[in-house]
Structure 1
Amino acid sequence: MRIAFGADHAGYELKERLVEYVRSRGHETIDVGTHSLDSVDYPSFGKAAAQRVLDGEADLAVLVCGTGIGIGMSAGKMPGIRCAMVSEPYSAHLARQHNDANALALGARVLGPGLAEMIVDEFLQTPFEGGRHARRVGMIEQPADES
């Protein structure tokens, strides 16, 4: 699998660790930045990583900021991105299995690196179940006035 990573300055160190971790698991990575602790704007990096998924350059995206909320909200506004902001492995599992999430947002200030690795493992190894969930994912993708 090819995974796109994006983070702001608050998520930089955890992103760096997760990029190496995912590579050690045999996956390819695309790192859109940031590449330092200098202050940057999280929407730019969340959208850049999500765009790699939309363009077919990456299968999934992993996004990191202080809480995971801002970067996840930014990516989730992009049509076709289903971003799950989670803080434990079970939700990451269900986000993939039931919601076909294609982006994962994590908070570097609220998660330890070991727990973040466990969450990423669940996210990457869990397939979408389809079936009754496919109809619901289709509903998520519809514009609000068509629901």
Structure 2
Amino acid sequence: MKIGFGNDHRGFETRKSIIGFIKQLGHQCIDFGSDSRNPVDYTDIAYAVSTSVAKKEIDMAVLVCSTGMGMCIAANKVKGIRATFCMDQMSAEISRHHNHSNVLCLSADLEDENLMHKIIETWLKTKTGGGRHKRRVDKIREIEECHDPRELK
């Protein structure tokens, strides 16, 4: 798969490790930066990466900022993005299987690199679920189109 990666200045220290780990898992990794500790707005990185996922230029993406939350909020503003903030392997697995997440957001301040690697590996290996999970994701798409999801059966 083609996986995007983006970080702000607070996620800079994890950058090389995560990109290398994604490649080690056999995926292509597209680096959206930031490539320095100089302050950058996480919103700009989240938008660039998420837009690339939404346009299907890349398959999925991993974003890292201080808490992971800012990136997650910004990414979810892009139509077609289902970004999730995960702090453990269970939330990573459920976010993929149940919610078909396509952007994973991590915290540079709250998670060490070893845990990040475990979360990333679990998230990338987990398949999306069908049945009720697909139906619910379809309803999320309806909400994005400003339609009432209760009208879908």
TM over 0.5: yes
User: Per the alignment, in what secondary structure is the counterpart of residue 63 of structure 1?
Assistant: strand
Larger Rg: 2
**Aligned residue runs from structure 1 range 19-98, under 5 A:** 19-98=19-98
Cα distance in 2 for residues equivalent to 1:49 and 1:16 = 17
Gaps of 5+ in 2: none
Cα distance in 2 for residues equivalent to 1:47 and 1:19 = 19
User: Per the alignment, in what secondary structure is the counterpart of residue 10 of structure 1?
Assistant: helix
Gaps of 5+ in 1: none
| CA shift for structure 1 position 26 | 1.0
Of all paired residues, the percent bearing the same amino acid is 37
| CA shift for structure 1 position 16 | 2.3
Which 4+ runs in 1 deviate beyond 3 A?
none
| CA shift for structure 1 position 100 | 0.3
| CA shift for structure 1 position 145 | 5.0
User: Per the alignment, in what secondary structure is the counterpart of residue 84 of structure 1?
Assistant: strand
| CA shift for structure 1 position 54 | 1.1
The one-letter amino acid of 1:53's match is V
**Aligned residue runs from structure 1 range 121-132, under 5 A:** 121-132=121-132
| CA shift for structure 1 position 146 | 1.7
